[in-house]
Each structure stands twice: as C-alpha cells, then as structure tokens.
Structure 1
Amino acid sequence: MRNNSKITTLESKFPLLSVEQGCMVSKDADITVAFRLELPELFTVTSAEYEAMHSAWHKAIKVLPNYSIVHKQDWFIKEDYQGKLSDGGLSFLARASERHFNERPYLHHSVYLFLTKTNKQRMAQQSNFSSLCRGHLLPKEITNKDEVMKFMEAVDQFERIINDTEQLRMSA
C-alpha cells in the first residue's frame, strides 16, 4: 500500500506562478524583474569612478517604490581560458601571453540583479503564515494595475540611471 500523503509535485513546491511580460510573478504575488549586470574588473576603478558608481547605485535605489527588494547575485564558474593562438596579428608578447594562459583554469564571473516589488504584509510575513488566513488570495497592490505600472516605470528609470554611468551596464 502506498502512502499518498507524502506524494507531491515539483510544480506545487516551485515558488514561481508565471513569467509574464518579462517579469517573474511568484505565488505570493511578488513581481521580479531580472537583469544581467556588467561590472568593471576588480581594482581597475579610480576613486572618482568608484564614487560615481556609488552615487549612481544610491540614486537608482532611491527611485524604487517602498517594499522593493534589490538582490544581486555573483556567480563564479570555473572555466579554462581559450587563447587566440590562431590570430596572426598578435605581437610577440601578446602571442606569448596567449600561449602562457591557454587552457589554464580561471573563475568566470557573472552578475545578476533582481528587482522585486512586494508589499507591506509580505515584508512582515513570517514563514508559518498561510495565505488561507487572509480573506483574499492576492494582495491589493498586485491587483492594482497602477501600482504595477509605477513599479515597472521605476525599474526602467533604475536601469537608465545605472546605464548612464560609464562603468556599469545592465541588460535584460
């Protein structure tokens, strides 16, 4: 005899409800927009450039509405360097450098930025809180199209502010 109470599906555990218009919508009605971020190499930024990047981040985050979450993920994946040995236009030193580093392991760095719009109730929510305790399944903010449009406009403005800096690049 099989115990059916322990059977569950991956879909029931997966936190995403859908992906619509380039946004991820969670089962708790949070809206998330994902970006790939290009950062300058480590230790290549002057103090003035660093200050400009810091002020751009500060200005961009201030644009977001209340109850927004900014989540930055850094992924480091071990890869082998593939040199450009077949390129005939390389100088002697450049060719020697390519040969030296060819097939050597390095960490490839990728950065992802997620901007999430949640609501006041969700920010204060504890893990033992169930949606069955509420009188409605979706928060009022998510059903209000004006709130969603304001968030999307703020995300567009956030992206413009970051892309206006010379050191940072965001792409969807």
Structure 2
Amino acid sequence: MFKRNKTAGRPDPSERLEPGPEPRAHIPLPADLFVDHDAAVAGQAQLKHWLDEAYEEFEKRGGPQSLPGYGKPLVIPTGDVMNTILKNAGIPHPWVLLRQTILEAMEDTVRLMDRKPDDAEIDRQLADINRRIVQMNVEAPSLTLHRRKVTRDTIREQIEKWR
C-alpha cells in the first residue's frame, strides 16, 4: 500500500505503509454444490403433474372447441398499438370526442341562428367552432378525416356531412 502524495494526489512509491495481509483470492464454488438435485427433480415432476392435471381438466370442459372464437380466423391488429388498446377498452380517441363536441356546438349554433339570425353570439360561436375544427384536423390521423371550417352559409350542409 502507498501513502498519498499530498501535492499530486497520487501514490508515492517511495513511502510505503507497513505491510498488511494481502487480500485472499475468492474461489467460487461449483454451482452443483448449491443446488439440491433431488428437490429440483421433485419440483419439475410436481410441475409436470400439475400441468397434466390442468390440461386434462381443460379437455373435460370441452377443450379448444369450447373457447369463444373457435374455428374463426385470428384478428391480428395492425397499425398503432395505442389505437388498439383504446379500441379494446371502449375509449374513443380524443379527436373523436372533439368531433362530437364540435357537432353539438354546430347544432347549438344552428338553433341560435333559427331563433335570432342577427345575433352577434353566432359569429363568436362560429369562430370557436372553427378553432376546434383546426385542432381536430391536427389530431385526426388521416386527411380523409379532416373537415372544412364553417360559416353561416355552410354550417347546415356541414352538419349533414358530419353525421
């Protein structure tokens, strides 16, 4: 062992500490000494027995013929994994929810136009609807799902296209 050189922070070979015991080399033992072979064989036999029992019980209940979808082709989802997860969970995409919200706002605006055609609130609602349409177009995964902005003249036509 060496003393540290105070100026450089490196060991100084000229100054040795008193000799101490050298660390002993670690000799790993073979893995066979740590494994109880009889217990391992018994565990594997027990697992095989349990699997055989489970399969026999499955066969008694009708086997694969009793499973839903037996004989039908497997449907392997393609595309975005998140889309598949949301679809299986029954949760619509955020852009679909936004589309529904926009459609409801458009219907509210048409009702307001029928009651008060010259109301300034209509223009404010149309601006809000158009802002949401732009947001939906950004979030929608395909250009075919994009929608046009609406005006007082086109809102009724657009509602019919959106349904």
TM-score (norm 1): 0.22
Using CA pairs below 8 Å that are at least 6 residues apart, which structure has the higher relative contact order?
1
Say which structure is richer in strand. 1
Whose helix fraction is larger, Structure 1's or Structure 2's? Answer: 2
TM-score between both structures, scaled by the size of structure 2: 0.23
Higher alpha-carbon Rg: 2
